Amino acid sequence: MIKKIILKYLFLYFIITTLLVTIYIIQFNKNVENYLHNKTNQHLLEYKAIYDEYRVLSKLIFDTDINDEKTIEIFKDAYKESGAKKNIIRNRLLNHLKFKYEKLKSYNLKQLHFHLPDNESFLRMHRPNKFGDNLTNVRSTVRYVNENKKYIHGFEEGRIFNGYRFVYPLFTKDDEYIGSVEISFSVLAMVETMYHTYNLNLSFLIRKDVVDKKVFKEERKNYILSPNKDFYFEKSVYETHPPLSTANPKDYTTIILKGEPFSIYDGSKNIIKTMIPIKNPVTHEIVATLCVCQNDDFIYNDKNDLISKIFISYLLLAIVFYLFFKQTVAKENLIKLNRELDKRVTLEVNRGRKQDLHLFNQSKMASLGKMMSNIAHQWRQPLSVITTCASGIKVQKEMNLLTDKDLDCFTNSILEHATYLSKTIDNFKEYIDVNDKDRRILCIQEHMDKVLDFFNPIFQEKNIAVIKKYEEEKLNISANTSEVFEVFNAIFSNAKDAFEKSGTKNKKIVITIKKKNDKKLLITIKDNAGGIDEKIIDKIFDPYFTTKHESMGTGISLYLTYKVILENLKGEIFVKNNIDGAKFYIELPIV
């Protein structure tokens, strides 16, 4: 039997703990997913804010320093000339803008590059000696502006430098299209601005095939291979802001090429990496990605909380299941004991009247299980409060959050409920004392309430309403507490059992205590459980008569109630059926 109970509780423990751990892990993964999503959006907004700053700056430079009358006058005939005349125009434009260009470099300007309408490079202010190469198949932004005569902006790799390029069409005052000009800022300038603004660790990766296809061979020294096989590091960014090293760097090329920003958590260094793919403004293909690395303790702490939660859940459930196991074993033992006691009661009754007192004590032992059940119901909430307070003290102590005020609050609550438990034990001891033979003056209303205190948890659980109609005058009898308890315990227990069999919805027990005359008081206990079968109503006070299975009852409780009232309390008891239930009448002499 014990082995089966152990296996049953171990199986339930495994199922419940597995379910709890699964729920905890799902919630943890959801929290991490939401957190990474928020980080992605945050860094994307930060990137867009810095990009917009440079876009506004490029427009300001174009309007104030490039698209002016003199610059246009110098450049307007460049696309018409060739040879020496074209070189003269180039030198005039270089000399005209040299001072401005040097000044604008302090605002992170990287390139000022003029192009002819046929996409020929006319003047690179950063490399004046490199000109004349056609950019049609290299610079899609230049080709776009010259074909559409519209402004465009975005990141693009070039022959010498990559950068964030803002390409503007150029017109004479007569709206004659004469070419385009590019104002660009380096990736390092963007990264530096983000670093100083948001204190982020950043690196910049550029598609390897794009670099190999476009960049002059002698300029490829500005790139370094990265762990992502299809990408180079931008060397200037790499040297200024070295990427955070990880134990086993992973290749995220496949995810990057999907084109959507994303964040991942690297537990080896406790960092979050956010990848922001960058597209060519004309072809919309992924040409680079901005990597934002940030130390972050949120996920690490959440993971530790998960481990603690799982450990505490395992521990608490183990304690709870152990207590339930002990209770189940005790209940099985009690059932076994009751069966043995039933047999003994039968033998003792058969031996004659002189064994009645012994039979009475055995009946009390047989009802001990029900009383213990009532005690358990009364203890459940206080024990739960005490356990919660003790756990609260432990957890807050471990987390250094326990204050004197919290400690006083917890200990006061523990003491209050411990006192309640002690009081319950005292009341219980008073009623089960079989050696209590001293008769005393008892107030029947007060002792009725004490008996109800034992039954209230069961009644509340079974949704049984108790309605009391007491006479205001205190009515006293001569008895001992054990006898009073045994009488009403039997009646209330039978009422509870009757409700369980009847299936009554609005269950209620009505108790009336009143003065019948100067010598007697009358107690009535009425229920609406359907009443007693008329065929057996005259037998319910007979010894060993019961309507229950032998494992559920002995048939002596109402018999002994009858004997106690008649022989010990010198009263009378009888029962009748009313409209919807049974009604017990008890008459006792007033003292």
* Contact (Cβ atoms closer than 8 angstroms) between residue 124 and residue 158: no
> Of 236 and 437, which is predicted with more confidence?
236
Give a yes or no: residue 447 inside a domain: yes
Of 83-92, 212-221, 354-363, 553-562, where does the model show the most confidence? 83-92
* d(C-alpha 514, C-alpha 531), whole Å: 23
Residue 237 in 3-state DSSP? helix
Residue at a domain's end among 259, 278, 296: 296
With the C-alpha atoms ordered 28, 32, 38, 39, is the resulting torsion angle positive or negative?
positive
With the C-alpha atoms ordered 90, 92, 95, 98, is the resulting torsion angle positive or negative?
negative
Give a yes or no: residue 331 inside a domain: no
The single residue listed with the structure tokens 């299809």 is: 230
CATH of the domain at 271: 3.30.450
* Contact (Cβ atoms closer than 8 angstroms) between residue 546 and residue 555: yes
DSSP annotation of 568 reads: I
Instruction: Give the max Cα distance, the chain.
Output: 143
What pLDDT is attached to residue 228? 80
CATH of the domain at 558: 3.30.565.10
Q: Provide the domain limits for residue 291.
A: 189-296
274-303 average pLDDT score: 91
**Encoding tokens for residue 457?**
């948890």
What pLDDT is attached to residue 161? 78
* d(C-alpha 250, C-alpha 243), whole Å: 13
Contacts 24+ apart (CB under 8 A), 309-317: 309/24, 310/20, 310/21, 310/24, 312/395, 313/17, 313/20, 313/21, 313/24, 314/17, 316/391, 317/13, 317/16, 317/17, 317/20
Q: Is the pLDDT of residue 185 over 90?
A: yes
**Encoding tokens for residue 207?**
């598609």
Q: Is the pLDDT of residue 553 over 50?
A: no
What pLDDT is attached to residue 433? 54
* d(C-alpha 392, C-alpha 10), whole Å: 27
> Of 377 and 280, which is predicted with more confidence?
280
Residue 1 in 3-state DSSP? coil
Left if phi > 0, otherwise alpha if psi is -120 to 50, otherwise beta: which for 382? alpha
With the C-alpha atoms ordered 126, 132, 136, 142, is the resulting torsion angle positive or negative?
positive
> Of 66 and 503, which is predicted with more confidence?
66
What pLDDT is attached to residue 550? 40
Q: Is the pLDDT of residue 554 over 50?
A: no
374-397, pLDDT tens digit by residue?
A: 566 556 667 776 788 778 787 777
Least confident of 393-402, 520-529, 545-554: 545-554
What pLDDT is attached to residue 248? 62
Q: Tell me which amino acid residue 66 is.
A: I
What pLDDT is attached to residue 555? 42
* d(C-alpha 335, C-alpha 549), whole Å: 13
What pLDDT is attached to residue 50? 94
Give a yes or no: residue 547 inside a domain: yes
* d(C-alpha 151, C-alpha 165), whole Å: 11
Of 228-232, 352-356, 432-436, where does the model show the most confidence? 228-232
In 105-198, which ranges are continuous DSSP H helix?
A: 140-148, 187-198
* Contact (Cβ atoms closer than 8 angstroms) between residue 202 and residue 293: yes
**Encoding tokens for residue 118?**
């046929």
* HSE-CB for 22 with a 13 A CA cutoff: 6
Q: Is the pLDDT of residue 548 over 60?
A: no
Residue 397 in 3-state DSSP? helix
Q: Is the pLDDT of residue 346 over 70?
A: yes
Give a yes or no: residue 167 inside a domain: no
Give a yes or no: residue 83 inside a domain: no
* d(C-alpha 46, C-alpha 276), whole Å: 11
Which has the closest alpha carbon to 200: 405, 14, 49?
Answer: 49
Give a yes or no: residue 461 inside a domain: yes
CB neighbourhood size of 227 (10 A): 15
Q: Is the pLDDT of residue 322 over 60?
A: yes
What pLDDT is attached to residue 54? 94
CA distances in angstroms from 291 to 44, 49, 52, 237, 263, listed in the order given: 11, 16, 19, 11, 9
Quickly state the pLDDT bin for 481 (edges 50, 70, 90).
confident
Helix (H) or strand (E) segment spanning residue 152: strand 152-156
* d(C-alpha 205, C-alpha 214), whole Å: 16
392-425, pLDDT tens digit by residue?
A: 787 777 787 778 777 778 788 787 766 766 666 6
Residue at a domain's end among 296, 331, 360: 296
Overall domain count for the chain: 2
Give a yes or no: residue 347 inside a domain: no
- The phi, psi pair for 478, rounded to 5°, reads -105, 115
Q: Is the pLDDT of residue 86 over 90?
A: yes
The single residue listed with the structure tokens 């959006």 is: 41
* Contact (Cβ atoms closer than 8 angstroms) between residue 411 and residue 390: no
What pLDDT is attached to residue 193? 92
Quickly state the pLDDT bin for 134 (edges 50, 70, 90).
very high
* Contact (Cβ atoms closer than 8 angstroms) between residue 152 and residue 145: yes
Count the residues in the chain. 591
Give a yes or no: residue 97 inside a domain: no
211-226, pLDDT tens digit by residue?
A: 888 888 888 888 888 8
CA distances in angstroms from 381 to 111, 413, 451, 455, listed in the order given: 77, 12, 20, 15
Residue at a domain's end among 296, 313, 331: 296
* d(C-alpha 381, C-alpha 377), whole Å: 8
* Contact (Cβ atoms closer than 8 angstroms) between residue 364 and residue 436: no
Q: Is the pLDDT of residue 353 over 70?
A: no
* d(C-alpha 469, C-alpha 554), whole Å: 32
* Contact (Cβ atoms closer than 8 angstroms) between residue 578 and residue 531: yes
The pTM for the full model equals 0.55
CB neighbourhood size of 342 (10 A): 19
DSSP annotation of 144 reads: H
How confident is the prediction for the chain on average, in pLDDT?
85
What pLDDT is attached to residue 546? 66
Quickly state the pLDDT bin for 452 (edges 50, 70, 90).
confident
